[in-house]
Amino acid sequence: MTLLANIDTERGAKLRSILADLLPDQQVALADEAYDPTDIRHLLTWKIPDNLAQMTALKTVFSVGAGVDQFTGIRLPDGAKLVRLVAPGLVAMMREYVTMAVLGLHRDLPAYIAQRQAQVWKMASVPPPASARRVGVMGLGELGKGALAALQPFGFPLAGWARSPHKIDGVECFHGAAMLDDFLARTDILVCLLPLTPQTEGILNASLFAKLPHGAALVQAGRGRHLNQPDLVAALETGQISAAVLDVTDPEPLPQDHPFWGDPRIILTPHIACITQVETLAPAIAANLSRDAQGQPMLGEVAPERGY
Ligand code: NDP
Ligand code: OXD
């Protein structure tokens, strides 16, 4: 019945203390303590530990984050489920990040940051009203839908694109490869909140950028490998893409001589759109363990055939 928390000791101890209140019967082991791997029923981790094969009773691998691409290619014990993190605290952070990024791009923030460095006091452009700036979100999952809801009050015409059809009030919904071009053609600020899968790897590339209106902007908060980095550099050079806010890169961090560091059209943040905090993580794990104990599906169970 033991849950192994394969996270740093400080956060692990906090998690154990919160779970002691929420699920008093749940045993919690920390990775730097002595434990019997054959007792481990649930594993909370960002990466698979070396002794996975010894965890013969393993039933669940809980990702510390919303993404599960780091587990690609890992064979879990037969019958074990992979569960991504679904938690209101993560959605709240992504809502803030995407709102910050979209508003920053809408109001020329990259240009003003560059101008401040050059001590220039000058209007970069007169922005169109929000009602004339079309925002499109790729990925209509927990985070994509949360981000769109946060953007609603500003009046941007909103659209979303996913694998399957969705209906969201106030959002024009597109799905599948056949509708991607129409989605892109109506999108001035493109937000990527996709999971990384073989289908989405490299999706932010020259061909996709060419289908956006000239001068469109990009918010990339999915995974670094969604983006073809040389293609973004080229699109910024031609003006096809005017600016970008990037939270994720490949690799992380970027090498010191990477062109993104010095490009004034790019705002770079170090993968901080969502920061998993124990206060967010522990209740989500407790709720899923309770669901499981009652024979209900857990929130965020990954469908192996989809990869997310
Ligand atoms: P979900 O699994 O809830 O949603 C994924 C969405 O992407 C779904 O709408 C799904 O479509 C869509 N999708 C998947 N594959 C395709 C495809 N081939 N074509 C079109 N749409 C597709 O994920 P979350 O919203 O919780 O998280 C999304 C991603 O955000 C994570 O996987 C991670 O990469 C990233 N992330 C980044 C963070 C950061 O700090 N920068 C923090 C947390 C997550 P459908 O609805 O039809 O299934
Ligand atoms: C996540 C992340 O997947 O932080 O939660 O990227």
Backbone angles phi, psi at 293, to 5 degrees: -60, -30
Q: What is the pLDDT of residues 188-223, one digit of tens each?
A: 999 999 999 999 999 999 999 999 999 999 999 999
pLDDT the model gives residue 282: 97
Cα within 13 Å of Cα(283), Cβ side: 7
pLDDT the model gives residue 112: 98
Find the domain containing 128 and state its range. 89-268
Specify whether 121 is located in the same domain as 255. yes
pLDDT the model gives residue 285: 98
Tell if the pTM clears 0.85, that is, is over it. yes
Indicate whether 192 belongs to any domain. Answer: yes
The low-confidence residues of the chain, meaning pLDDT below 50, are none
Indicate whether 43 belongs to any domain. Answer: yes
Longest dimension (CA), the chain: 65
Residues 110 and 113: their CA atoms lie apart, in Å, by 5
- In ligand 1, the atom with minimum distance to the C-alpha of 164 is 47
Compute, in angstroms, the gap from residue 65 CA to the centroid of ligand 2: 4
* Closest protein CA for atom 3 of ligand 1: 141
Indicate whether 300 belongs to any domain. Answer: no
Specify whether 100 is located in the same domain as 205. yes
Task: For Cα atoms 46, 176, 251, give the angle at the middle one, nearest 5 degrees.
Answer: 35
Query: In this structure, are residues 94 and 109 in contact, taking their beta carbons and an 8 Å threshold?
Result: no
Kind of pairing between the strands at 2-6 and 40-45: parallel
Indicate whether 196 belongs to any domain. Answer: yes
- What DSSP element (H or E) covers 63? strand 60-63
Compute, in angstroms, the gap from residue 120 CA to the centroid of ligand 2: 37
pLDDT the model gives residue 241: 99
Tokens linked to 167: 């209906």
Compute, in angstroms, the gap from residue 115 CA to the centroid of ligand 1: 35
Specify whether 81 is located in the same domain as 93. no
Indicate whether 156 belongs to any domain. Answer: yes
Residue 107 is among the residues annotated as catalytic for this protein? no
Q: Does the beta carbon of 273 sit less than 6 angstroms from any atom of ligand 1?
A: yes
Residues 157 and 151: their CA atoms lie apart, in Å, by 9
Specify whether 130 is located in the same domain as 220. yes
Indicate whether 302 belongs to any domain. Answer: no
Tell me, letter by letter, the H, E, C secondary structure of 263-283.
CCCEEECCCCCCCCCHHHHHH
Q: Does the beta carbon of 269 sit less than 6 angstroms from any atom of ligand 1?
A: no
Facing residues of 189 across strands?
135, 217
Q: Does the beta carbon of 276 sit less than 6 angstroms from any atom of ligand 2?
A: yes
Domain CATH for 55: 3.40.50.720
Query: In this structure, are residues 83 and 61 in contact, taking their beta carbons and an 8 Å threshold?
Result: yes
Residue 83 — left, alpha, or beta (φ > 0 → left; ψ -120 to 50 → alpha)?
beta
pLDDT the model gives residue 1: 76
Mutate to test the pocket of ligand 1, among 83, 182, 193 (most ligand atoms within 8 A of CB): 193
Specify whether 249 is located in the same domain as 133. yes
- In ligand 2, the atom with minimum distance to the C-alpha of 68 is 3
| Number of folded domains that form the chain | 2
Task: Look at the alpha carbons of 180, 86, 277, 79 in this order and tell me if their dihedral is positive or negative.
Answer: negative
Indicate whether 219 belongs to any domain. Answer: yes
Compute, in angstroms, the gap from residue 193 CA to the centroid of ligand 1: 5
Specify whether 198 is located in the same domain as 165. yes
Specify whether 132 is located in the same domain as 165. yes
Identity (one letter) of the amino acid at 181? D
Q: List own/partner pairs for 14-23 with CB under 8 A and 24 or more apart.
A: 14/278, 14/282, 15/44, 15/278, 15/281, 15/282, 15/285, 18/278, 18/279, 18/282, 18/283, 18/286, 19/282, 19/285, 19/286, 22/282, 22/283, 22/286, 23/286, 23/289, 23/290
Residue 223 is among the residues annotated as catalytic for this protein? yes
Q: What is the pLDDT of residues 210-262, one digit of tens each?
A: 999 999 999 999 999 999 999 999 999 999 999 999 999 999 999 999 999 99
Specify whether 244 is located in the same domain as 104. yes
Specify whether 135 is located in the same domain as 166. yes
Specify whether 153 is located in the same domain as 180. yes
Specify whether 116 is located in the same domain as 240. yes
CA-closest candidate to residue 195, choices 86, 281, 295, 112: 86
Q: Does the beta carbon of 300 sit less than 6 angstroms from any atom of ligand 2?
A: no
Indicate whether 125 belongs to any domain. Answer: yes
Specify whether 47 is located in the same domain as 94. no
